Structure 1
Amino acid sequence: MITLEAVESFFPDRTVTVEERAAELELNEAQTHMFRRVHGLDRMQYDPDLSLYDLVLPAARKALSQVDPKSVRYLLYCHALHGGRSVGPEAAQNIKQQLGLENATAFALTQQNCAIALSAIDIAGTLLQADGDPDARVLVVTGDKPRHRAAQLVMNTCVVGDGAASALVSWNGSGAVVNSFVSKTRGEYSDGMMSSPALLRAESEMRPRLMVEVMREAADRAGCTLDDIQVVLAPNPNTTLWVDTIKDDALRSKFFFDNIPRYSHCLASDVLINYATLCEEKRFEPGRPAMFVAIGVGMTFSAMVFTPSSTTGGTWS
């Protein structure tokens, strides 16, 4: 089974309120009010002087701190931003070199936006199963450092903060066990934020049905139901998106939203950041299934059921 041996997150020291960040982005009073009162943002970490590597390497180093770096056979760098001006083709190799992972094969994953980390975990498991070495590991590194306003402010729906996360993945190792993974992409919506108003409306109408469909399929493959899930960890663009997507109040009450006002949306990293938060706060109930979900602009819908172990720790409350 795929296991999450360690998951760590990192944020820069500089904290700004949504009002301060809105002023930096030259938003008007109505937009600022919307982000706080409607979308549920409060504050976030943001440092304009931070480089991409300054952002992603600390969490990766923490995830590696208890293992022999030589055991890491693969490094998967996950990013949401596309194009050489945002993330260059050399990024994965640079991360590998700076971490000293001499034995690792490094490559990048993208195109699924907020859903990319879940696909990376699944790919990591496939690589480890094929490798056959029980001591081998994969390091999944996530994070983006947007430099352009269009990537920092997404369609008046989210303000992007600075945050990154890394996961150390093993096969039949210690930690949370991944029980199932389901992912579906609707290519007709591949224009994403550049879609026509009619296509955006169609996507909005389709989204609630397909998200719950993917969640139910993942639960079924894991041998449980959505009622059995203790907590759902999702990306943090805003609270409005999930209110519009998950219509059932009982199911939506399982979603972990505490990090939306704390950190806002951290590209490619939210689901792992949320996992690290629940580990730190000891809010997982060991042995009871939990779920990652993600909607990636494009449109990719993913759900992954996992079972926290006693080493994951905590009691959900």
Structure 2
Amino acid sequence: MITLEAVESFFPDRTVTVEERAAELGLNPAQTHMFRRIHGLDRMRHDPDLSLRDLVLPAAKRILKRIDPRSVRYLIYCHALHGGRSVGPRTAQDIKRALGLEKATTFALTQQNCAIALSAIDVAGALLRADGDPEARALVVTGDKPRHRAAQLVMNTCVVGDGSASALVAWNGSGTAVRSFVTRTRGEFSDGMMSSPALIRAESEMRPRLMLEVMSEAADRADCTLDDIQVVIAPNPNTTLWQDTIKDEALRGKFFFENIPRYSHCLASDVLINYATLGEEKRFEPDRPAMFVAIGVGMTFSAMVFTPSSNTGGPRS
């Protein structure tokens, strides 16, 4: 099965409060109050001078220090933003060269927004399984550096911070075992933030039911129930979205929300960032199932059940 051998995250040093970031974005006092008191934001990392390359490389480099880089057969770069002004057609190749992985097959994945990292893990596992080389690895690199206000402030629902993460994927390795993956895309909502008010209402009404269906199916495929899940790791747009999506309080109580006030929403990277935090803080119970979930604007719903191993997490090398 697919295994996660290492996950690392990275943030720039500059920390700003939600009030400072709101002032930079020209928000009024009512909007600023909403983000802190209603959506649960507090502070985030934001460095306007940091390049995309400097944002995504450090986490990947930490992983490569642990292994023989020649074992990396695939490099998959995941990003949420679309269009040449955000991520160019050669960005994945530029990342590969910067990491010294010249022999790795490299490509980018996008279009699923917050859910893209989970699909990348699944794709990486499928490629490694097809290769049949037990020593081969795939490196999943995630992160975006939005330069335009519309991508930094998303529909008054989240303020985007700077953060990235990378994951080393193996087939039948010794790390965290991925036990199931379920994903569904509802194409009628593909306009995302540009949808009509009627479609936005329809999406908000459909979202709780479909998210619960996907989570339940992922748990069933992993031969467990949602009651068995020790923690649910989700993206960090805000606390309000998950309160509106997960109606069952007991299930919602399993969600890890502590990074929302710490880092806010880091495009394409939240689920891996949150995994890294829980690992570093040694908060996983080994051999007890946990779950990634994600809702990607567009609309993609994904859930992945995994079982942490005894060596999941720990201090960084």
TM-score (norm 2): 0.98
* Distance (whole Å) between structure 2 residues aligned to residue 273 and residue 150 of structure 1: 23
Which AA in structure 2 matches 1:219? A
Instruction: For 1:165-180, list aligned pairs within 5 A.
Output: 165-180=165-180
Alpha-carbon contact 1:110-1:116 (below 8 Å) kept: yes
1:5-24, CA deviations, whole angstroms, 9 ceiling, x for partnerless residues?
A: 00000000000000000000
Tell me which residue corresponds to 1:117.
117
Tell me which residue corresponds to 1:80.
80
Which AA in structure 1 matches 2:312? T
The 3 A distance-change label for structure 1 pair 313 and 111 is: closer
* Distance (whole Å) between structure 1 residues aligned to residue 309 and residue 69 of structure 2: 24
Does the alignment pair 1:230 with 2:230? Answer: yes
Tell me which residue corresponds to 1:203.
203
* Distance (whole Å) between structure 2 residues aligned to residue 313 and residue 181 of structure 1: 22
Does the alignment pair 1:55 with 2:59? Answer: no
* Distance (whole Å) between structure 1 residues aligned to residue 152 and residue 100 of structure 2: 31
Which AA in structure 2 matches 1:187? G
Q: CA deviation at 1:65?
A: 1.3
* Distance (whole Å) between structure 2 residues aligned to residue 170 and residue 67 of structure 1: 12
Instruction: For 1:114-263, list aligned pairs within 5 A.
Output: 114-263=114-263
Runs of at least 4 residues of structure 1 off by over 2 A?
none
Tell me which residue corresponds to 2:89.
89
Which AA in structure 1 matches 2:46? Y
Q: CA deviation at 1:109?
A: 0.1
1:161-195, CA deviations, whole angstroms, 9 ceiling, x for partnerless residues?
A: 00000000011112100000000000000000000
What percent of counterpart residues are identical?
85
Alpha-carbon contact 1:285-1:313 (below 8 Å) kept: no
* Distance (whole Å) between structure 1 residues aligned to residue 103 and residue 288 of structure 2: 35
Q: CA deviation at 1:266?
A: 0.1
Which AA in structure 2 matches 1:289? P
Tell me which residue corresponds to 2:286.
286
* Distance (whole Å) between structure 2 residues aligned to residue 63 and residue 171 of structure 1: 17
* 3-state secondary structure, aligned to 2:16: strand
* Distance (whole Å) between structure 1 residues aligned to residue 253 and residue 313 of structure 2: 21
* 3-state secondary structure, aligned to 2:117: helix
Tell me which residue corresponds to 1:8.
8
Which AA in structure 2 matches 1:58? P
* 3-state secondary structure, aligned to 1:65: helix
The number of equivalent residue pairs is 314
Alpha-carbon contact 1:117-1:269 (below 8 Å) kept: yes
* Distance (whole Å) between structure 1 residues aligned to residue 65 and residue 173 of structure 2: 16
Alpha-carbon contact 1:184-1:300 (below 8 Å) kept: yes
> Which range is displaced more, 98-107 or 24-33?
98-107
Which AA in structure 2 matches 1:306? F
* 3-state secondary structure, aligned to 2:140: strand
* Distance (whole Å) between structure 2 residues aligned to residue 231 and residue 103 of structure 1: 37
Q: CA deviation at 1:63?
A: 1.5
Tell me which residue corresponds to 1:44.
44
Alpha-carbon contact 1:70-1:102 (below 8 Å) kept: no
Structure 2 unmatched ranges of 5 or more: none
Which AA in structure 2 matches 1:162? D
Tell me which residue corresponds to 2:28.
28
1:119-138, CA deviations, whole angstroms, 9 ceiling, x for partnerless residues?
A: 00000000000011100000
1:208-229, CA deviations, whole angstroms, 9 ceiling, x for partnerless residues?
A: 0000000000000000000000
CA-atom RMSD in angstroms: 0.6
